[in-house]
Structure 1
Amino acid sequence: MDMITNIRNKYSGLTRKQKLIADYMLENIEKMSFLTLKELSEELDITEVTILNACSALGFSSFNEVKYESRKYISLMEKVNLHREKEYLSTYVPEYELVNQKELLKNIVQEELAQMESFVESLDIDLMFSSAELFISNPKIVLCGRGISKLLAEFLAIRLAGTDIASTVMDTELNDSIHAALPMFDEMTLVVAISFPDYYFMTDKIAEHAAKEGCKVLAITDSPNAPIVKFANQTLLVPSSTRLFLNTVSIPMALVNVLTSALDIINSYRKGETEGGPERFSSLFREEARV
């Protein structure tokens, strides 16, 4: 039985204050995923003991179980909605494109190459360096995403390790992974939220919660209109779609390479291993782009 059905089934047997708490849960199911017991107590002006008693009356063993069940319900509803709308991703190639298969594949390669060239030409070098600075100025780093975005987060973690920076990867599709990383969220944490189509609602919620907790949020996505952008202090945009696939990792991985290269340049400069520093390298990139 899902959380909403459970609350509604037990609603009539609750006390007046317990019904107020249940009403809040029903109306704010997504918010319940991240609220602490103290925050809920302050918002409702109801004691923590009363809230815990309400949780018990609703059949939950703890407040953490309420948070877990709320996440499970949201995830379930997202999958149900995708099923209803038939938005499952599939690779489809019309028959007329298959007449000349070698030409089709050649065109696909050329399109991806053109995307890469466009990405390089429009690259904001100053933004790369300022984004790299975020990794240096924040002692705790959480990289989050799901699916292809999680793969990119893991690749970024490997690159960061090469610059002596430790990070934690959060799979926003797994409750255990989310629970393990949430205690790190505070004003000393950088949360790198990676989100490509189809944009996953829980990654957006993590970014929103991170911003609320005072974290710095760096978004990596494909569009300035992506839902995650509104929660970010800084956003890095990179194209990800191809003719056959909703997302390709090749260009986003190139972004990770550039970002961590900027980070390595900054570290080397500050250690005195190179001459000139970030501004010198920025000017070199700009000069190269004009050639």
Structure 2
Amino acid sequence: MDILEQISKNISNLSKKQKVVAKYILENWKNIPHQSSVEIAKNLEISQSSVIRTTKTLGFNSFPELQNALHLIIQRQLSFVDRLEQTEVVNPNIETTLLKIRHLQEMNLRQTINASNPKHIRQTIEYIVNARKVYVVGMRSSATLVHYLGFNLNMMTKKIKQITNDYSLLEDIRSLDKQDLLIAISFPRYTQLTKTAVYLAKEQQCPIVAITDCLSSPIAKPADIVLLAASKSLYFNQSLSAAMALCDILLTQLTTDYHQLYRQGMEELEKDYERLNIF
């Protein structure tokens, strides 16, 4: 049962005010990912708390979780051509584009920060520090994040392996066990290979951290920790800027908590930079 069917089925059990919110969601679900709970409350002339309570009654932990779930439905329905046509309509000129992109990126970043659980961030860092080997996996556009996170982690410790293709994925993942860590990164359109890597790692009892856009993501369910990053975009593909910021959060906290642990490695790296005249 998808989310819209779930809301329709449960609407009869809601209070009068909650039914108003639920009907608004059903009638405007394509716009909900781009509206705040404050905006919806204003449109319906009710309180913001009523919108949030209805969201939780419908089975979501928060309003952003509902937005992410609806956004996933939209992305699955739209082809690249559909998204391209939307871009041409939404962005008639560069001035409008600049304003809309600024607003959207601010919203993505705000949602990502608000959805970040400090305990999950801390546990991810502990996993990285204590793991025998850390595998960072992601395909297609997510490979950009794999390179960014993996490159910076590799500057601190040499136990990092990046996987962005299928050349040796099965062999690499099969070697994992509970002493290692898999960081899987996947955003729409999700790849079967990343999902396969996660489920194989699960079979090997390897801890898994998923960096993705919503709890409905195919890599979220088997993961031990899910770190969410909003990826809404006005063009034909997903925006990864908020996910990049999430990687920065991990890297910053890791170096803050364990700067002494990685100090020697960084000093040796600086010597190599000087020797090779890299500046």
**Structure 2 length as normaliser, TM-score?**
0.60
Hey, what's the Cα distance between the residues in 1 that align with 2:80 and 2:233? Answer: 17
1:146 aligns with 2:139: yes
Matching residue of 2:193: 202
Structure 2 residue 159 is matched with structure 1 residue 166: yes
Tell me the CA shift for residue 104 of structure 1.
3.0
Q: CA deviation at 1:239?
A: 0.6
Aligned to 2:85: 92
Distance 1:196 1:86, change over 3 A: closer
Tell me the distance in 2 between the aligned counterparts of 1:119 and 1:183.
Answer: 32
User: Structure 1: which 4+ aligned runs deviate by more than 6 Å?
Assistant: 269-272
> CA 1:112–1:212 in structure 2 vs 1: closer, same or farther (change >3 Å)?
same
Report 1:66-145 matches (<5 A).
87-88=79-80, 91-93=84-86, 96-145=89-138
2-side partners of 1:87 and 1:245: how far apart?
8
Question: Percent same amino acid at aligned positions?
Answer: 22
Q: How big is the shift at 1:148?
A: 1.6
Secondary structure (helix, strand or coil) at the match of 2:167 reads helix
Aligned to 2:220: 229
Contact conserved, 2:184 with 2:194, CA < 8 A, in 1? Answer: yes
Is residue 193 from structure 1 mapped to residue 184 from structure 2 by the alignment?
yes
- Structure 2 CA distance, aligned partners of 1:139 and 1:154? 20
Structure 2 vs 1, CA of residues 88 and 95 (structure 1 numbering), >3 Å: closer, same or farther?
closer
1:194 counterpart SS class: strand
- CA distance in 2 between counterparts of 1:195 and 1:130 reads 20
Contact 1:168 1:181 in 2 (8 A): no
User: How far apart are 1:180 and its partner, in Å?
Assistant: 5.0
Partner amino acid for 2:254?
Answer: L
Shift of 1:100: 4.1
Aligned to 1:175, the other structure's residue is in SS state: coil
Matched, 1:156 2:149: yes
> What's 1:258 paired with?
249
**1:246 paired to 2:237:** yes
In 2, Cα distance between equivalents of 1:202 and 1:195: 10
Task: Spell out, residue by residue over 1:179-210, the C-alpha distance to the aligned partner (whole angstroms, 9 max, x if none).
Answer: 45234312222111111111111211110010
Change (3 A) 1:180 1:259: same
Check conservation: 1:159, 1:257, Cα contact below 8 A.
no
Structure 1: 5+ residue runs without aligned partners? 1-84, 273-291
Larger radius of gyration: 1
In 2 relative to 1, CA 95–149 (structure 1 residues): closer, same or farther, beyond 3 Å?
closer
Over 3 Å counting, the alpha-carbon distance change for 1:216 and 1:92 in structure 2 is same
Structure 1 contact 193–203 (Cα < 8 Å) conserved: yes
Task: Give the partner amino acid of 2:116.
Answer: L
Q: Distance in 2 between matches of 1:271 and 1:101?
A: 44
Contact 1:218 1:232 in 2 (8 A): yes
Query: For the aligned residues, what is the CA RMSD?
Result: 2.6
Provide the TM-score with structure 1 as the length reference: 0.58
Which consecutive unaligned segments of at least 5 residues does structure 2 have? 1-76, 264-279
